[in-house]
Structure 1
């Protein structure tokens, strides 16, 4: 399971983020609260040490976007999601 999916599930208490939402689904279209998206950014910064700027946030729409962002910041490959 991806790091971002784990964080979304933790923040929302909604396991659907771990199983039902595709990597390319716009998170805003899932009904996730904008406050949860802000908390996701804060959690990412806290747990990974990656600074997320306002400019970065504009390009973060999907789980895949967040995973690529983290991979770029950490110099590692994104964690692919299993079937």
Structure 2
């Protein structure tokens, strides 16, 4: 599972949601609530030390968006295989 999917499991308390959502599925439209989306951003920032600005958030809609963003912004070796 990817780092973002692992965080979604932590947030939802089950693997069901994280396993069912494709990398290109809009998270907000797929049934996750807005509070969990905010908590997802906070967990990413906390765990990886990566700042996600409001402008960044406008472009983060899917698991794939988060993974690409983190591949560019996160310190080397902190994301892959988590």
**Does the pair score TM above 0.5?**
yes
Check whether the contact 1:26–1:62 (CA below 8 A) recurs between aligned residues.
Answer: yes
Asked whether 1:40 is paired with 2:40, we answer: yes
Runs of 4+ deviating beyond 4 Å: 75-80
Check whether the contact 1:67–1:79 (CA below 8 A) recurs between aligned residues.
Answer: no
Check whether the contact 2:7–2:40 (CA below 8 A) recurs between aligned residues.
Answer: yes
Could you tell me the TM-score, scaled by structure 1's length?
0.86
Check whether the contact 2:9–2:18 (CA below 8 A) recurs between aligned residues.
Answer: yes
Distance (Å, rounded) in 1 between the aligned partners of 2:14 and 2:33: 12
Distance (Å, rounded) in 2 between the aligned partners of 1:49 and 1:30: 27
Q: CA RMSD in A?
A: 1.9
Unaligned runs of 5+ in 2: none
Unaligned runs of 5+ in 1: none
How far off is 1:55 after superposition? 0.1
- Deviations 1:19-54 (CA, angstroms, capped at 9, x unpaired): 211000000111101000000000000000000000
Could you tell me the TM-score, scaled by structure 2's length?
0.87
> When the two structures are aligned, how many residues end up with a matched partner?
80
